[in-house]
Amino acid sequence: MEPAALGAAVMVGVLARSRRAAAVDAGLYGFTLALVFMVAGYDGAEPLSGRLPFFALLGLFGAACAAALALVGALVRRRLSREPREGGPSQA
């Protein structure tokens, strides 16, 4: 995946309302992105219809990667939004 696509998947997680929404939304994004790039870049001799099952399988891998990155983004959002604990280090 392109670095911009990786950052976009993380941002989906940061902006999502829940971890489940982050994973689902980023999964759809990753699948679509991977599939579209493979279809658009295909210039083989075999008809595209014969390659679609393989492309869909790789799209599922893209979905899994994007979902994982979105969960990282959700974790970052959660860590950044926490209030400092009582008795913890002061921010003076």
Sign of the four-CA dihedral 72, 83, 21, 13: negative
Residue 85, pLDDT above cutoff 80 = no
**5-14, 23-32, 34-43: least confidently modelled range:** 5-14
User: What pLDDT does residue 3 have?
Assistant: 73
DSSP conformational letter for 42: -
Using DSSP's 3-state secondary structure scheme, residue 21 falls into helix
- Provide the residue type at 13 as one letter: G
Q: pTM of the predicted model, to two decimals?
A: 0.79
- Direct distance between the N- and C-terminal alpha carbons of the chain, in angstroms, rounded to an integer: 42
Residue 66's pLDDT band (boundaries 50, 70, 90)? Answer: very high
Distance (Å, rounded) from C-alpha 53 to C-alpha 57?
6
